[in-house]
Amino acid sequence: MNKKCPYCGSYGVEILGLYWAYCPECGAEGPKMDTEQEAGAEWDRVVNAIKTDEGKVATDTDVGCKIPLPVKRDEKGPVNEKSVKELLAKIEEERLELIEALITSGIELDMASGEYCIGSDIMREKMADEWADMVTASVTFLDAIGIDVNDRAAAVRRCNERNRERGRL
């Protein structure tokens, strides 16, 4: 499998979870497959499809999988409004996939503890993976508009403080 990401150029592409290629540097991901070998082969197909159209940024439709489009940045953030809209659409897509995973996860109320639990380890992993996809899309968007890791950490601290004040933590 080609470990180089065609979008950001990093060499950290790996196979995750229920088998899809993922670039931790830019968030690009290949389609979910049945086996690790199929996921690697499909990622190679995606990389080759992108390479064939030099100078053109491939979209999800072009290659048949979910690829967050890279955002060209300057020091003030994204260069164009289209990039922002695409990133926001990606967050919404991932949010809906998380809700679908939640609905199909077999969540049950544990009568002994009074807590909700997810029916199977496979569904737990799927929900966690969908959550991670949504977080990655959100962080990619925030980074693209100039909200860096320090800004995000400060926002999480403020959120935690609000939740403590409301008795949620």
Q: What is the pLDDT of residues 5-59, one digit of tens each?
A: 776 677 888 888 778 888 777 777 777 788 889 888 888 877 776 655 444 445 5
Q: What mean pLDDT, rounded, does the chain reach?
A: 76
Place of tokens 């807590």: 115
109-165: pLDDT as tens digits: 777 887 877 777 788 888 888 988 998 888 888 877 778 777 888 888 898 899 899
CATH class for the region spanning 72-169 = mainly alpha
Q: How far is CA 74 from CA 46, 84, 137, in A?
A: 28, 14, 20
Domain with CATH 1.10.3420.10 in the chain: 72-169
Q: What is the reported pLDDT for 50?
A: 61
Mean pLDDT of 80-107: 81
Given a cut of 50, is residue 69 above it in pLDDT? no
